Amino acid sequence: PTHQLWGGRFSGQPHEALQALNNSLPYDARLYSDDLDASKAYAEALKRAGYLNSADCDVIVKSLELIRFDWVERSIKFLPSDEDVHTVNERLLVNITGELGQRLHTGRSRNDQVITDMKLWMRKANRETLGRLRLLIEACVLQAEQHLGILMPGYTHMQRAQTVQFSHWLLSHAFALREDCLRLVELRERSNVMPLGSGALAGNPLGIDRLWLAERLGFSGVTANSMHAVGDRDFVVDFIYCCSLVSLHLSRLAEDLILYSTQEFDFIKLADGFATGSSLMPQKRNPDSLELIRGISGLITSNLTGIMMTIKGTPSTYNKDLQFDKQYCFQAHDKLAQSLDVAVGVVSTMQVQRHQMEAALSTDMLATDWAYYLVRKGVPFRMAHHYIGRVVALAEQRGVGITEVPLGELQQICEAFGADIVSVADYGLNVQQYNVVGGTATVCVLEQLRQLKDFCMGL
């Protein structure tokens, strides 16, 4: 008999061009373990429904374990007729158990089988991704904690804006990653619903206890509509979206760090392990690690558009187009994992250049604080903003800093200026004024650190 699962009504094998396109083993083989887990549970469900006796069920379950061993040992040889991981596992089972193995697929379709496998796989992938995110948040927290109190120019539009703490800046990236974690946790809970028992599309007519199966496989519930279940890949889109967003966050962090590691900025220095040299210019130290992180986000995000384009226009229930979901999903996951590993390495080993950051502060960055000084003297903010603007223009004209404009001249611009304006010249003190929740004052940055640490502990 043919190894093909569906050979009965066919007179020959599929054309080899079709076999080549149809063969998903190169990318779905990694589902072997989830496929075996789901099959073991399904065999037990068949026993409970009266379609397998206890002894036969035991033989199937033990044989599936033997097959797992062969996968681990890499001793499985694929045949040209093997279409996908499900076909291989079933062929191997029939090799071991003969006619008995042919009973396992009773009432089941690869349509409900493959998404059950995918969901089992994704549960692990989700946890793994969360683990990596946690490591990166912790690396940010550690650097922020060790370098608390270091000042740096904060930028908007890449223009010097206001003084902030280095830790405040670094944690701004960590908080984006925290949101990513929350998204993954939410997705894990929402998608942990079992499709098995949906059959090809109509459901299962053999009295399979889906609730029991779901519990056995660690799902928190069962899908409510079999036709929806077999055609649904939204959970894959969601996962790839989560991966894409993480990759964009890593890309933005990388962009900041690339800039800050230039000789012109010199705010941070990459460790040797995360920098590379030039084959031509002996002096070069290139931030390839960060450029790769920035670049790979394009590839990861392309998987999101890829899967969405694949789903678009497919009619209801299962269609073979959906087989490609795995390539997008696995690539997004794998590339993100590599990217996260590098990001953790970069952040935890980078050297923070306190002197260079603080030397980059300039008195124009006090302008906003000067406006607040006038506000505290009773000047309406819009007016204060205007007066300080004039001070900045005057100082610029003379080629000096605003702190060098004599008090008399300041008072000509606005009479609310007093001798105490000199107290608004200290960058460090200015930073401490921003003590609102979320601000850059030390108490607030400490609170951010606490929140992130708590979050990581609870993850």
Under the criterion CB under 6 A, does residue 322 sit at the interface with ligand ARG?
Answer: yes
Considering only 128-136, 142-150, 273-281, 316-324, which stretch makes contact with ligand ARG by CB under 6 A?
A: 316-324
Q: For residue 278, indicate whether it is catalytic.
A: yes
Q: Give residue 391's region: left, alpha or beta (phi > 0; psi -120 to 50).
A: alpha
For 165, the enclosing helix (H) or strand (E) is strand 159-165
Q: Minimum distance from CB of 28 to ligand ARG (Å)?
A: 6
Considering only 65-73, 254-262, 314-322, 344-352, which stretch makes contact with ligand ARG by CB under 6 A?
A: 314-322
The answer to whether 31 touches 118, Cβ cutoff 8 Å, is: yes
Under the criterion CB under 6 A, does residue 311 sit at the interface with ligand ARG?
Answer: no
Q: Minimum distance from CB of 175 to ligand ARG (Å)?
A: 37
Over its C-alpha atoms, the chain yields an Rg (Å, rounded) of 31
The answer to whether 159 touches 190, Cβ cutoff 8 Å, is: no
Q: Which alpha helices (DSSP H) does 73-103 contain, by range?
A: 85-97
For 394, the enclosing helix (H) or strand (E) is helix 381-398
Query: Using CA atoms, how far apart are residues 90 and 35, in angstroms rounded to an integer?
Result: 10
83 or 138, CB closer to ligand ARG? 83
| Pairing assessment for the beta strands 159-165 and 151-156 based on DSSP bridges | antiparallel
Under the criterion CB under 6 A, does residue 339 sit at the interface with ligand ARG?
Answer: no
Q: Minimum distance from CB of 325 to ligand ARG (Å)?
A: 7
Under the criterion CB under 6 A, does residue 126 sit at the interface with ligand ARG?
Answer: no
Query: Using CA atoms, how far apart are residues 108 and 12, in angstroms rounded to an integer?
Result: 25
Query: Using CA atoms, how far apart are residues 86 and 153, in angstroms rounded to an integer?
Result: 57
Q: Minimum distance from CB of 342 to ligand ARG (Å)?
A: 31
200 or 248, CB closer to ligand ARG? 200
The answer to whether 379 touches 416, Cβ cutoff 8 Å, is: yes
Name, in order, each residue with C-beta under 8 angstroms of 70's C-beta and a sequence gap of 6 or more. Answer: 76, 92
Task: For helices 234-260 and 110-146, give the axis angle rounded to 10 degrees.
Answer: 20
Q: For residue 297, indicate whether it is catalytic.
A: no
Cross-strand pairs, 165: 151
Site for ligand ARG in 257-276 (CB under 6 A): none
Q: Minimum distance from CB of 200 to ligand ARG (Å)?
A: 7
Q: Minimum distance from CB of 118 to ligand ARG (Å)?
A: 8
Q: Write the binding mask 92 to 111 for ligand ARG: x where contact by CB under 6 A, - elsewhere.
A: ------------------xx
Under the criterion CB under 6 A, does residue 318 sit at the interface with ligand ARG?
Answer: yes
84 or 369, CB closer to ligand ARG? 84
Query: Using CA atoms, how far apart are residues 262 and 295, in angstroms rounded to an integer?
Result: 18
Active-site residue (options: 278, 316, 362, 423): 278
At residue 80, φ and ψ (nearest 5 deg) are: -60, -25
Site for ligand ARG in 8-67 (CB under 6 A): 24, 28
Under the criterion CB under 6 A, does residue 84 sit at the interface with ligand ARG?
Answer: yes
Active-site residue (options: 11, 54, 75, 157): 157
Q: Which residues are catalytic?
A: 157, 278
Residue ranges that bind ligand ARG, judged by CB under 6 A: 24, 28, 84, 110-111, 114, 318, 320, 322-323
